[in-house]
Amino acid sequence: MAVTCTGENRVLRAVVSGEVDHHGAKQIMGELERSINAALPRSLTLDLGEVSFMDSSGIAVILRAYRRLGELGGELKVCNIPEQAGKVLRAAGVDRLVSFE
């Protein structure tokens, strides 16, 4: 499992793990999409603490979750961002769109 979800009352926390590159992102996106569709969260926290590597493929994963939460009238937060992933997300300006904590 690349994504482990916990939560109740439409407050979801998703721990993403492994390498978020093009090779790994497809599975992550699929698992996240299924969890969002099942829980219809009004708050989603993406925990990147277990991510060992991220490239631009991860940007698309986060922006997709951001759009889905927007459609649901919910809010996306990203937390426990490792140094390398943070640098990628900041270089792409994702921090200006999504709240990091």
Partner 1 sequence: MTKPVNEAAVVFLSRSANEGFARATAACFAAQLDPTLDEVNDIKTAVSEAVTNCIVHAYPDCIGKVSMRLRLFGDNTLEIVVKDWGVGIEDVAQARQPLYTTGDETRSGMGFTIMESFMDGVKVRSAPGKGTTVTLRRRVSLRVGGGA
Q: What residue ranges bind ligand ATP (CB under 6 A)?
A: 56-57
* Among 7, 43, 60, 80, interactor with partner 1 by CB under 8 A: 60
Fill in the DSSP letter of residue 85.
Answer: H
34 contributes a contact to partner 1 by CB under 8 A? no
**From ligand ATP, partner 1, none, interface partner of 13 (C-beta below 5 to 8 A by class):** none
Cβ distance 76 to 98 under 8 Å? Answer: yes
* Among 1, 6, 10, 22, interactor with partner 1 by CB under 8 A: 22
Lookup: tokens for 96: 């200006």
Q: By three-state DSSP, how is residue 10 classified? A: coil
